Structure 1
Amino acid sequence: MKKKVLIVGTGLAGLSTALRLSTNGYEVEMVEKYHRPGGRLNLLEKDGFKFDMAPTFFSMSYEFQELADACNIKVPFEFVELDPLYAVHFEGDEKAYLIHKNLKKLAAEFQNIEPDLEQKVKRFLEGAGAIFHDTEHIVIKQNFDSLLGYLLQLTRVPLKHAPKMFYSMWREMEKNFDSFEVKVIFSLVGFFLGATPFDTPAVYSMLNYTELVHDGYHNVKGGMYKIVEGLVAELKKRAVTMHFGVEITQVEEKHGQVTAFIDSTGKKWEADLFVVNADAAAFRGQILKRKRYRPSKLDQKKWTLAPLTIYLGLDTKVKGMYHHNYFLRRNFKEYANKIFKNSIKLDKPYYYANIQSMHNPDYAPAGKESVFILCPVPDLRYKPNWEDAEEIADAIVADMGKRTGFDFAKHTEMRIIYPPNKWESTFNLYRGSGLGLAHDLNQVGGFRPSNKDESYNNLYYAGASTVPGTGLPMTVISSRLVTERILNDHGHLSQK
């Protein structure tokens, strides 16, 4: 007989887990609070404009290939490699720096401020690559049954990497580069983790290796939501059912097992096994009522920055800009140290802008443009009131116009703003945190909420706040790890 799995949440980890389990003969049913699948990897549409709601590029594309191979399918979407990777605009500079994978081109961009950059980057990336390859299969792609097991596994990592666990990414940049601009640009990967380079351990410089050498960054032909559409199409072939507008609020259990989840209408959703693709920490506190994860305990944890996102529909095309852009200022350390706890004004924030219809022309009506802007901001613990979201958005749009010479405000014909409280209510993001739990050393690996429940032997977790961590490829790896757990505990069924 088939065993039935109920997956709560249709984010990338949930969809990937559904695909893996259905491949191994499990009957899969999925429930989702939002009106369509994808979680944060979603699509916003209005007045003929389309927008990727959150992720706009990714690294480690081979993890999608691994997923496809494991499930006996072809990758159901087409990668588009980015090169240059992105442009960086510093306040007061007329020139925007293009970040190339080709190190000679990269060095040429900075030849006036960072002599011998090619050799410096090669040396830096050699060390970053060593960290990546020495930890990938030992730490990143492993399940851990206990904290002791995790700590023992760490002893397999070469001792030479240990010091980088205890000082910051910014210090690592200072050891390798001289110019302010290069140090800032190479430390942006700290922000990709939802943190800052001043509180992100130097070991995460391995991400510089993944962006410049190992795989680079990719978009998807037709838009990022093609990932979701492709996976959903494959799941439909396997008769995986999805139900939308369903919010789980309670658990029913008996003899150490979950027997059903109960939604906000009182309906019971029964299964043999359950996988939660909601925040693994918050779900334990909010739904399972675990004291260890009650709000006072969750609020003491380190969470990633919240997103304030702006979606602009323009009545004309943007000229003279690259499609992926970072807009930075000169007060980098002050800003990074104060932004988390809302102790700096948001009138001149740092932000990222993606001209989405440059990659995907059908994201905007003919002759028009879709623009996505992301500003990392304090979460709702530190800034609960977002009545000033429109004012902050006005300042960002005006600043971008001033720094690029293109009047975005004048050419805006539609605008949507998602402040952190909107993200919290739409996708159940704890305190509006954009990427879940941060990657401090006491919140990674065996310290992170496990993907197997500590009380119920048929309840599992997949997604950003469990192992291995946040980001699109990490959640695909998460789906593999949780599937390994389930197969080890409950066996392979019929192979499709």
Structure 2
Amino acid sequence: MKKKVLIIGTGLAGLSTALRLSTDGYEVEMIEKYHRPGGRLNLLEKNGFKFDMAPTFFSMSYEFKELAEYCRMPMPFEFVELDPLYAVHFEGDSRSYLIYKNLKKLAAEFQSVEPDMERKVARFLKAAGEIFHDTENIVIKQNFDSLFSYLLQLTRVPIKHGPKMFYSMWREMEKNFDSFEVKVIFSLVGFFLGATPFDTPAVYSMLNYTELVHDGYHNVKGGMYKIVEGMVAELDKRGVKMHFGVEVDRFEKNHSGISAFVDKTGKRWDADLFVVNADAASFRGQVMGRPKFSPEKLDSKKWTLAPLTIYLGLDTKVKNMYHHNYFLRRNFKEYAHKIFKNSIKLDKPYYYVNIQSMHNPDYAPEGKESVFILCPVPDLRYKSDWSDAEEIADAIVKDMGERTGFDFAAHTETRIVYHPKHWESMFNLYRGSGLGLAHDLNQVGGFRPANKDEEFNNLYYTGASTIPGTGLPMTVISSRLVTERIHKDHGHLSKK
């Protein structure tokens, strides 16, 4: 008889795990709080406009290829490489900087502020690449049975990388570059992790290598939600059932482990095995009732910044902007140190803008444009009142117009604003944190919430707040690691 797996949550990690386990002969059923699958990798539609709700690009495309090969299926979506990767606009600077993978073109962009840029970048990326390749299979793609096994595994990493675990990404930039602009731009990957370069270890400079050398960034033909649609179509072929509007709040157990989860209507969802694609830390506290993950314990952890997202439907096309854009200011250190705890005004924030219909024309009616804006903001621990969200959005849209010479406000015919309370409510994001637990030394690898439950042998976790961490490719790797766990404990049900 087939063993049945219930997956709680249909984010990318949950969908990937469902594909792997259904390939391996398990019967899979999925439940989801939101009204459609995808988690944060979702789609918003209004008045003929479409918007990617959160992720707008990804790296490490080979992880998706590995998933497709494992599951013996064609790639469920088509991706396109970005080059240039993105544009960066600094306050008070009339020009923008395009970030190219080609180092000669990249150096030419910065020749006026960073002499000898090509040599410096080549040296920096060589060191970053060594970190990536020396840790990818030793740390990133490994399960750990205990904290000791994690620390033991770290001893296999060449000792030369050790110091970079103990100083910041910003210091690494200062060691390699002179100009403010280059140091800020190359440290943006810290913000991709939902943190800042001042509290992100220097080892994460390996992400600069993944973006500029190893694989680059990719967008999806037809929009990011095509990832979800393609995976769901394949799961449908395999008979995997999905149920929406379902939120679990308690569990039942028997002598062999968890017997069922119970949703807020009282309906039981039983299975042989359970995989949780909700936040691995907050679920343990809020549903499993673990003292180690009580509200006080959770609040003492480091969480990633929360999202304030703005979706604009414009009545005309935008000119003189690239697909992906960062709008930054000159108070970088002050802003980074103060934004987490809401100790700086949000009237002039840093933000990211994606002109979504530029690469995917069907995201907007003909002659119009769909625009996505993301502003990382304090989570609900530090800013619980978001009655000013529309005012902050007004300021961002106005600032963007002044800095680009295009009046976004005047051309807006559709606008939606989601603040951290919305994100917390829609996807059970703890305190509205956008990417789950942060990635400081005390919350990575064996220090991160494990992907196997501490008490029950048939309960597992996958997603951003367990190993290996946050980001689309990381959650695909997470699905592989949890599948390996299940195979180790319960075996393959079909021959590969």
Match of 1:454 in 2: 454
d(CA) in 1 for partners of 2:311 and 2:427?
Answer: 18
Residues 121-270 of structure 1 aligned to structure 2 (within 5 Å): 121-255=121-255, 257-270=257-270
Q: Which residue of 1 aligns with 2:78?
A: 78
Counterpart in the other structure of 2:4: 4
Q: 1:43-442 maps to which residues of 2 (within 5 A)?
A: 43-255=43-255, 257-442=257-442
Aligned letter for 1:229? E
* Offset of residue 52 of structure 1: 0.2
Kept in 2: contact 1:277–1:462 (CA 8 A):
yes
Asked whether 1:34 is paired with 2:42, we answer no
User: Take 2:255 and 2:105, find their aligned partners in 1: how far apart are those partners?
Assistant: 63
Alpha-carbon separation, structure 2, partners of 1:488 and 1:456: 15
Alpha-carbon displacement from aligned partner over 1:183-241 (angstroms, at most 9, x marks no partner): 00000000000000000000000000000000000000000000000000110111000
Secondary structure of the corresponding residue to residue 183 of structure 1: helix
Displacement of 1:256: 5.1
| Distance in 2, Cα, partners of 1:285 & 1:238 | 33
- Residue 494 of structure 1: CA displacement? 2.0
- CA distance in 1 between partners of 2:77 and 2:256 (Å): 41
Q: Which amino acid aligns with 1:265?
A: T
Native 8 Å contact 1:256 1:455 kept in 2: no
8 Å Cα contact 1:59/1:210 also seen in 2 = yes
Q: Give the fraction of aligned pairs with identical amino acids, expressed as a percent.
A: 84
Partner of 1:399: helix, strand, or coil?
helix
Alignment length (residue pairs): 496
Could you tell me how far apart the structure 1 residues matched to 2:97 and 2:494 are?
53
- Following superposition, the deviation at residue 74 of structure 1 comes to 1.2
Q: Is the Cα–Cα contact under 8 Å of residues 276 and 462 in structure 1 kept in the other structure?
A: yes
Separation (CA, whole Å) in 1 of partners of 2:398 and 2:200: 31
Long gaps (5+) in structure 2:
none
CA deviation string 1:443-494 (max 9, x = no partner): 0000000000000110000000000000000000000000000011101002
Task: Tell me how large the CA RMSD over aligned residues is.
Answer: 0.5
Secondary structure at 2:28 match in 1: strand
Q: Distance in 1 between matches of 2:197 and 2:176?
A: 14
Letter in 1 for 2:126: E
Q: When the two structures are superposed, what TM-score results if normalisation uses the length of structure 1?
A: 1.00
8 Å CA contact 1:23–1:495 kept in 2: the answer is no
The letter of the residue matching 1:352 is Y
Amino acid at match of 2:365: P
- What are the ranges of 5 or more consecutive residues in structure 1 without an aligned counterpart? none
SS in structure 1 of the partner of residue 281 of structure 2: helix
CA distance in 2, matches of 1:349, 1:472: 25
Residue 255 of structure 1: CA displacement? 2.0
TM (norm. structure 2) is 1.00
1:60-99 per-residue CA deviation (whole Å, 9 max, x = no partner) reads 0000000000000111110110000000000000100000
- 2-structure distance, mates of 1:421, 1:256: 38
In structure 2, how many angstroms separate the alpha carbons of the residues matched to 1:133 and 1:474? Answer: 15
How many Å separate the matches in 2 of 1:60 and 1:495?
A: 28
Match of 2:17 in 1: 17
Distance 2:305 2:113 in 1: 31
- Per-residue CA distance 1:92-141 (angstroms, 9 max, x = gap): 00100000000000000000110110000000000000000000000000
